[in-house]
Amino acid sequence: MSGSRRVQQLMEAFRCLPGVGPKSAQRMTYTLLQRDREGASRLADALLTAIAEVGECQQCRSLSETAICALCDSERRDRSVLCVVENPSDVQMIEEATDFQGLYFVLQGRLSPLDGIGPAELGLDRLEARFVAGEVQEVILAINPTVEGEATAHYVASMAREAQLSVSRIAHGVPLGGDLEFVDSGTLSHAFAGRMPLV
Amino acid sequence: MSGSRRVQQLMEAFRCLPGVGPKSAQRMTYTLLQRDREGASRLADALLTAIAEVGECQQCRSLSETAICALCDSERRDRSVLCVVENPSDVQMIEEATDFQGLYFVLQGRLSPLDGIGPAELGLDRLEARFVAGEVQEVILAINPTVEGEATAHYVASMAREAQLSVSRIAHGVPLGGDLEFVDSGTLSHAFAGRMPLV
Ligand SMILES: [Zn+2]
Ligand SMILES: [Zn+2]
């Protein structure tokens, strides 16, 4: 226990960050308060601004502070190819690791009936509307290969086939039960290039 | 790159935290924005409150939101023993690891003439005033055993001897060149109990 309640509260608040235990929280607190109050103040501002402004893109459901995100809005992207991912962070991973030039659709989760997550929660009605609208020709599934991810991928694949689109799925390299987030970018790039058509 | 400028700014802001690289910053950003905006908001508040309110205790120079910190203000502490440390985090470490019941003095650094850090910057005039005021009988040095720490410890020890106080220094267990911050609490407790009188 520090003698200061405010110091203690800041340590506890840091615990909301993934991977931050009591020891790291303590180090973060003392480092900022003793040596980098400017950084601390910038972090507080960035948090408040992001919370207030960042919502979801109406088109791809990724994180965005505008109604349509910069990617969906870009005229340089190939609108005939749509990559379906679980999370906004997957978009960033693929952008950094590959030369994919199409657009994305972010499910923000995977089908999980027991948790009350069905097609509506994943925005699949909106995705289907895009599939049948005529612009999209090819669908790439970059959904994580977990049990629920598999079910989700099959669901989206059959929607795409119904709309007579070609469907592929990224392949080798993403370990079973793994998360895209924890794959190095070389492996991800390889998996992306080696995607297989779904029959 | 994320499509969102606000998301990008938040990732960059997280980099001010010790031990947080680009990958962790990314994970923190997405986790908070997607799953824990309440935690993010609490963290922003805790940062702003701490920056605004936490200053230094007028007596021990530790972090405190009151003029005199809770430790210095406590009637349960033994005012005859004073433990001198470098950082506020060292106070917390010792409180958690040992049953020390005395008071502290926080140097907020160590003598480093080349960096312009002399006795005045470490508040040694204030420390000397406490040494001669008569309340303190024993001084425990828990200064890190680095080259500059050694010089600082010798300086403080001679001040204490001048005031005819007994001086000891925490001993075994703190690795040479190491920081108290990174020592496990068992080792620290041992070092504290095994402190040696300085002759
Ligand atoms: Zn979008
Ligand atoms: Zn104090």
Pick from B24, B50, B92: CB nearest A19: B24
pLDDT interval class at B173 (50, 70, 90): low
Pick from A29, A50, A89: CB nearest B10: A50
**Token pair for residue A141?**
């599934």
Asked if the ipTM is above 0.90, the reply is no
Q: Which residues of B touch A32 (CB under 8 A)?
A: 16-17, 47
How large is the average pLDDT for residues B121-149?
92
The count of C-alpha atoms lying within 13 angstroms of the C-alpha of A84, restricted to the half-sphere facing its C-beta, is: 30
What distance in Å separates the CA atoms of residue B127 and residue B163, rounded to the nearest whole number?
Answer: 11
Cross-chain Cβ contact B30/A2 below 8 Å? no
Q: Which CATH class is domain A75-169?
A: alpha beta
Asked if B136 contacts B82 with a C-beta cutoff of 8 angstroms, the reply is yes
Say what percent of chain B tops pLDDT 90: 71
CA-wise closest residue to B191 among B150, B142, B146: B142
What distance in Å separates the CA atoms of residue B58 and residue B192, rounded to the nearest whole number?
Answer: 26
pLDDT in tens, A77-93: 999 999 999 999 999 88
DSSP letter for each residue of chain A: --S-HHHHHHHHHHTTSTT--HHHHHHHHHHHHHH-HHHHHHHHHHHHHHHHH-EE-TTT--EESSSS-HHHH-TTS-TTEEEEESSHHHHHHHHHHS---SEEEE-SS--BGGGTB-TTTTTHHHHHHHHHSSS--EEEEE---SHHHHHHHHHHHHHHHHTT-EEEE--TTS-TT--GGGS-HHHHHHHHHT-EE--
CB pairs under 8 A between A and B: 197
pLDDT in tens, A117-174: 999 999 999 999 999 999 999 999 998 877 898 899 999 999 999 999 999 988 645 5
Asked if B26 contacts A180 with a C-beta cutoff of 8 angstroms, the reply is no
**What is the H or E stretch that residue B142 is in?**
strand B138-142
Where, residue-wise, is CATH 1.10.8.420 in chain B? 5-53
CA-wise closest residue to A80 among A134, A137, A122, A24: A137
Q: B139 in helix, strand or coil?
A: strand
CA distance A9 to chain B (A): 6
Q: B103 in helix, strand or coil?
A: strand
Q: Which residues of B touch A40 (CB under 8 A)?
A: 16, 47, 50-51
State if pTM tops 0.95: no
Give pLDDT, residue A199: 59
In sequence order, the 6+-apart residues with CB closer than 8 A to the CB of A166 are A137, A138, A139, A160, A197
Q: What is the CA radius of gyration of chain A?
A: 20
pLDDT interval class at A190 (50, 70, 90): low
Q: B155 in helix, strand or coil?
A: helix
Q: What is the largest CA-CA distance in chain A?
A: 66
Residue B69 phi, psi dihedral angles, 5° rounding: -75, 165
Cross-chain Cβ contact A5/B65 below 8 Å? yes
Q: B11 in helix, strand or coil?
A: helix
**Token pair for residue B142?**
């828990």
Asked if B92 contacts B180 with a C-beta cutoff of 8 angstroms, the reply is no
Where, residue-wise, is CATH 3.40.1360.10 in chain A? 75-169
Give pLDDT, residue B178: 66
Q: CATH 1.10.8.420: does it fit domain B5-53?
A: yes
Q: Considering chain A, what is the average pLDDT of its residues?
A: 89
- What is each CA distance from B133 to A53, B76, B126, B197, in whole angstroms? 56, 20, 11, 22
Residue in B17, B42, B179 to test binding to A, most A beta-carbons within 10 Å: B17
Q: First-to-last CA distance in chain A?
A: 60
Of A53-57, B112-116, B173-177, B195-199, which has the strongest mean pLDDT? A53-57
CA distance B164 to chain A (A): 29
pLDDT in tens, A104-114: 999 999 999 89
Taking 70 as the threshold, does the pLDDT of residue B199 lie above it? no
Q: B81 in helix, strand or coil?
A: strand
Neighbours of B197 (CB within 10 A): 9
